[in-house]
Amino acid sequence: MAVSDALGAPRYRGKVRDLYAVGEDQLLMIASDRLSAFDVVMAEPVPGKGRVLTGITDYWVRRFADVPAALVSCDPAVIERAVPALAGEAGWAGRAMLVRRAEMLPLECIVRGRLAGGAYEEYRQHGTVHGDPAPTGMELTDPFPEPIFTPSTKAESGHDQNLSRAEARARVGDATYEAAAAVCLRLFTQAAADLASRGLVLADTKFELGVLEGELVLCDEVVTPDSSRLWPAGEVRRGEVPPSFDKQPFRDWLDAAGWDRQPPPPPVPAQVIASTQERYERAYELVTGSPLGDWYGA
């Protein structure tokens, strides 16, 4: 992409997204095709991945219209008016989000509807999820009696650390914690119901919240394959790892390859990249009901 040629170095470069300042109160967020796992970025990109993440986020922000969001627009025409330097530059349409600048909560706001991933590993060893007691007798993929809010730290580098409810409250205060939990649980419940109607199980997802003009707003990516576990409902079996339309199969491939999760990562074969690309594109179609070719930047 040629965005850096037009705008200079990004204000912040994450594992997947680059942020550029747009005046004093807005940011331009560009989702790249970079693929990360276990907090390490692979050398090989996944073609179209940034468009998938951006398009799905735009879809959910529209669906959650009653919840304030930082997103202003993903429309390239709107973005060009705000950032004239992008006119004529290639590669950013469909990946770019113009957003209002918010003060981010120092929490990753995770909601879990099913027992999976790191929560399953912790539960198997200790009978807890994020340090708090969980129902006995659960197996992999089992639903919790109700979705649970399980925040973690928001690390600038290295791995996020799971937080108990008490630890999270201590970080942001009781009132902010309660407000964040309430909005995230409501969004998760709505998204899970929407996806269930399309034959998908939303096992868990991570929301990002910020404060803008005194109110909590939804920020960053929303219910994407990078931030969620999405399972085909008809293929979920209790106690078994289900197929999924997210990043988990790639993580499983890395583990099977014997990688120790420390840089540098192993080379990723072309067929693994191709299957990951296909999975992300299929996720876009299932979530939004439209082909990726209909989204900006095709």
What's the pLDDT tens digit per position in 149-188?
999 997 655 567 899 999 999 999 999 999 999 999 999 9
Alpha-carbon distance of 67 to 189, in angstroms, equals 14
User: In the chain, how long is the greatest CA-to-CA distance?
Assistant: 58
pLDDT at 67: 96
**Average pLDDT value over all residues in the chain:** 95
| This prediction's pTM | 0.95
Q: Which residues neighbour 81 within 8 Å (Cβ) at sequence distance 6 or greater?
A: none
pLDDT at 263: 95
Binned at pLDDT 50, 70 and 90, residue 7 comes out as confident
**Mean pLDDT over residues 12-35, rounded?**
94
Query: From residue 282, how far is each of 59, 102, 244, 275, 285 by CA, in Å?
Result: 15, 32, 10, 10, 5
Class of the 3-101 domain?
alpha beta
Q: How many CB atoms lie within 10 A of CB 270?
A: 9
Residue 5 has pLDDT above 80, yes or no: no
**Domain edges within the chain:** 3-101, 104-264
Q: How is domain 104-264 classified at the CATH fold level?
A: D-amino Acid Aminotransferase; Chain A, domain 1 (3.30.470)
